[in-house]
Amino acid sequence: MGTEQLGIRFGTPVSAGDPPRVCLPRPPHLATVCGISCGMSARHFFETLRAERVTMLVDTRQTTTYRDARFAHGDDFVYACGRHDVGYTHVAELAPTADLRATYHRVADGKSASRDERAVAWTAFLKGYAKLVATDRKILREGSPLRELLYGPHKSIAFLCACPHHEDCHRRVLLGMVARHVAGVGIANLSPEGVGGFAPSLKTPRRYLLEPIPSADIPASHMPGRKTP
């Protein structure tokens, strides 16, 4: 990974072939970045944010207005966040592109697609998202919306998407990149399993990443019974 890819100055790689780990200095206030789904009840959602002392919610969805968004829909969601003393912002450059999503769903939604083909498509989606935000959009560049948030007044920030679990979502990559490239920032995954829900089935192809994403410190996790190259 070249030094221009995240718009920051990198340090020394941990081992041969690894991307450099050291990059941005410790933020003056921020200690934790969280991932959370809006696929739970409004009560559980805001209670979870309160328990983690989250004061800023960063919406990473491609769109914030769609039929199945429940309480997390458009201006109503902004109003609800305000009523619960949580700041809200939608950062479009943290969302996947429509093309990435469409390419994945062409395979994943196909009735004839095998479990293996779906896992390959999911891996390609996450790797494509990692390249999009790190190389194309340079989300940690100086003056970027994300960088301004990380170095702002908040001690705990949550990144939101609709996917129920972090292993089913692009926010897993986003959180991993922040933790890897910003000194002193930890991760908390506020998944529904902690508020009365459950993690995706081990049979779900989206639980498996067939190739690692080093820029986000995410290792490969192969499906049982799948032959690795």
Query: 34 pLDDT exceeds 50?
Result: yes
Tens digits of per-residue pLDDT, 164-206?
Answer: 878 889 999 999 999 999 999 999 988 655 544 455 454 566 7
Sheet containing strand 56-59, edge to edge, reads 87-90, 56-59, 156-161, 32-37, 186-190
What is the Cα–Cα distance from 214 to 177, expressed in whole angstroms? Answer: 9
Residue 163: what pLDDT? 86
Stretch 106-121: mean pLDDT, rounded?
89
What is the Cα–Cα distance from 121 to 60, expressed in whole angstroms? Answer: 21
Residue 33: what pLDDT? 96
Tens digits of per-residue pLDDT, 45-63?
Answer: 999 999 999 999 999 999 9
What is the Cα–Cα distance from 125 to 101, expressed in whole angstroms? Answer: 7
pTM, two decimals, is: 0.85
In the chain, where the domains are located = 32-194+204-216
Cα of first residue to Cα of last residue in the chain, in angstroms, is 24
The residue with greater pLDDT, 68 or 160, is 160
